[in-house]
Structure 1
Amino acid sequence: MNTRTVDTPAAAPRVLLLPGWQNSGPGHWQTVWETLHGDLRVEQHDWMRPLRGDWSARLEEEVLAAPGPVVFAAHSLGCILVAAWAAHSRNTHKVRGALLVAPGDLEREDLHQLIPGWAPIVRQPLPFPALLIAANDDPYCDAARSRQMAADWGARFVDAGRGGHLNAESGLGDWPEGRQLLNDLSKDTH
């Protein structure tokens, strides 16, 4: 009996969309990607009063439910969620990479008051490749703080120039540049 092994390509990772506080509305690039590319939005139980433990548990459920590897496309509070989840999950090996877009500075007093329970931000290195992209005029996070988060997490940093919070109001539409960064990251194997 002659048996041959056939090399099959590794399964394409499932893209998990991780919106921030109040979810991502119809004009947001995450919503557009969900429609265009069939990405899976991690639905949270309470978008208005986010609890770090609840949000981490939901993310863990979706990572475990994925049949193969995953890649994260996180925005704002979703970036902070990735760091918090990675610090305690035993399933980080399933994550091929994380695109972290416009993290919010939850240690800033005004944001800490709006969204309590998320400070201090987890700052340990992520156990998977990550790229953090942020604008230098984001009203929710100073550019220097974004760069510091990227350094702390071991993420490559991309300066988006002027673009605000890189959300629907930024006019990104389907944001092909962001999608290309995600595609490149999901192919990353280190």
Structure 2
Amino acid sequence: MKRRTLALALLLGGVVLPPVADEVRAGPPPKKVVAPPPQTNQNEALQQRLAILRRKVLRDEDFNETDDTNRDPFRSFLGIFVDRGARAVVSQTVPAIFGKFALEELTLIAVVTGDANPRAMFRDPSGLGQVVKRGDYLSKSAARVTKILSDRVVLELAEATAGGETRALEKAILVNPEGADK
């Protein structure tokens, strides 16, 4: 029973224990706890702020990104601080089978089909013939072989547009274009 009474008195702060002689106090005295302001003032202030926000009319300009007030939090701004200097334009070259010749100078002389890997043979102006398969690159223009059919080879060329972008252009080369005219 005495323990309960003592615990209750300690919890309520009613019992003050005498200071112990061996105890040495260091540092400043403890600060007094200030009671928080009444909740009614906080609730009233909150209600006033909410009322002001409800009355505010939002416009499109409020959502436009500006550097000083409304910036995009998901955009990386590291590029601003990097000194890029003058970068040289690196041209990407593809190892082509007939890299010294233009596509118009090459002649398709044979097509071998009938299995899973069809092949075609092109001849350059000097008379040298080379066998190509699907995926190989031909000529200076880096035309890629996309299809090998029984009478033609379809090539894909990368053409630069006026805007600086590249677009794919397909060109078919027949096996015997002179014989097709007869």
Q: Does the TM-score normalized on the shorter chain lie above 0.5?
A: no
Q: TM-score scaled by structure 2?
A: 0.20
Structure with the higher helix share, 1 or 2: 1
Q: TM-score scaled by structure 1?
A: 0.20
Structure with the higher strand share, 1 or 2: 2
Q: Between Structure 1 and Structure 2, whose CA radius of gyration is higher?
A: 2
Q: Which has the higher contact order (CA 8 A, sep 6+)?
A: 1
